[in-house]
A and B are shown apart, each in its own frame.
Chain A
Amino acid sequence: MRSASRILSLAVLAFAIVSLGFGGGSASPAHAGEVPLPNPAKAFKGTQCVEPTDVMRRNHMSFLKHQRDETLREGIRGQKYSLNECIDCHAVTSPDVAGGKVRTLKPFCKECHDYAAVSIDCFSCHTGAAVPGIGKTSELPADHAEKALTAALEKHLDAGARAQ
């Protein structure tokens, strides 16, 4: 009886190791067959956002909506939140947009919005494309290319792992 339970626990451990080794961290059995969790790309700048990540995840839409009215109707510009600043840090290249030649915000937003079934209209008017000088600090860091490549590879590997 004792040895049987030990064998069982060993088998569970072995399964866990195998699934960790081949399946990756995100493909836990609990999520098998479900819609994959969103995996938005890291900010290109690698610097701190205007708010902590959890606050941005929950409240970014309120920040942007509140401030868009102040900007357009009252002419208050240069405040803390700005779609152009989002673009400056978070715009990524994607094969879906202009053949991967332009950095845009669309793929970044799409990642979570698709998961949450959110459909927004921002980008039927705003381009979301990064252009020089769009943000306060639009120069990219020196290690930007390597970071972007690493992020793209990680995402690719992760997608492959999830598909298994």
Chain B
Amino acid sequence: MTDRRQDDMSTVDSATPDASRRAFLKGGAAAAAVVTLAPGVTLYATGADAAVTGPATSAKRWGMLIDANADAGVWDVAVAACQKEQGWGGGENPATDPQWIRKVTVKNPKTGATANMPVMCQHCDEPPCVDVCPTGASMKRADGIVLVDKHICIGCRFCMMACPYAARSFVHEPVQGQKPHMPRGKGTVEACTMCVHRVDRGQQPACVEALAASGSTAMMFGDLNDPNSDISRAVSKYVTQRIRADLNVGPGIHYRGI
């Protein structure tokens, strides 16, 4: 809660108690947000405020656990779900078209063992893309999600050069038919947003949800800071790896079986 919004709520609560009470009765208890400022001091916010999310805080650290032992076919499902949700793909220039998530096959040359896995923005703790951005467009939210603020992105592509995972893409062609939640435009850099618009609403990223719907548990999303979350339990139970852990950028995406 920001100070400003707390002020708003306290104004509603104290200055117009009747209006606030009526709104509360009309909206019902379900539509009301309750904020406890201190023991015994409780504010009730009604109406539009109940639907307001955020701000994102560092109490959460969103991350994913990806099981590379899963059947290789599931990663195509994940890529397709991302394209559908965010509206990328289907371009005519595969070499330069934006690619938010891709299926990668790795092979151990000595043993011949192969593994398939999806690679996208790894949502680093110390993102090199943020370090190099000259305008501040490349940024990390308090909850660990790394985003591009396309309002101030100048398309210099330093972040693409800095990213060890080649996770970011430059939009070379004019874009049509963007999704309302994901504006995209020529001349800016873009990457996986960990479906931030869904996460803020309390949903799972589209790729994770699509895999779950297809009966696969190969992708897991959750709060790495919460020791009781499914993902934290899994990360503490299994041996997991992060790609290029030697770079010490602290990716939020964990992998099993590579």
Contacts and interface: CB of A to CB of B under 8 A. Distances in A.
Does A associate with B in a complex? yes
Interface of A: 68-70, 72-80, 84, 87, 121, 124-127, 129, 131, 134, 136
Interface residues of B, number: 32
Nearest to B147: A72
A127 B178 contact: yes
B185 A124 contact: yes
Given A125-B178, A127-B177, A74 B54 contact: yes
B53 A76 contact: yes
A104 to B, nearest CB: 11
B3 to A, nearest CB: 13
Decide if the interface of chain B is mainly helix, strand, loop or mixed: loop
Contacts of B51: 78, 136
A79 B52 contact: yes
Nearest to B53: A77
Nearest to B56: A75
Nearest to B2: A76
A87 B180 contact: yes
B103 interface: no
B175 interface: yes
A83 B75 CA distance: 34
Given A124-B185, A127-B180, A75 B52 contact: no
Nearest to B140: A73
Given A75-B141, A127-B176, A134-B180, 14 more contacts: A73-B149, A74-B54, A74-B142, A75-B200, A77-B53, A77-B54, A79-B48, A84-B180, A121-B185, A124-B174, A125-B175, A126-B183, A127-B177, A129-B177
Q: Which 5 A-B pairs have the closest CB atoms?
A: A125-B185, A75-B54, A75-B56, A125-B183, A74-B55
28 contacts: A69-B151, A70-B54, A72-B149, A72-B151, A74-B54, A74-B56, A74-B141, A75-B54, A75-B141, A75-B143, A75-B196, A76-B52, A76-B55, A77-B54, A77-B201, A78-B53, A79-B48, A84-B180, A87-B180, A121-B185, A124-B185, A125-B150, A125-B188, A126-B180, A127-B176, A127-B177, A127-B179, A127-B183
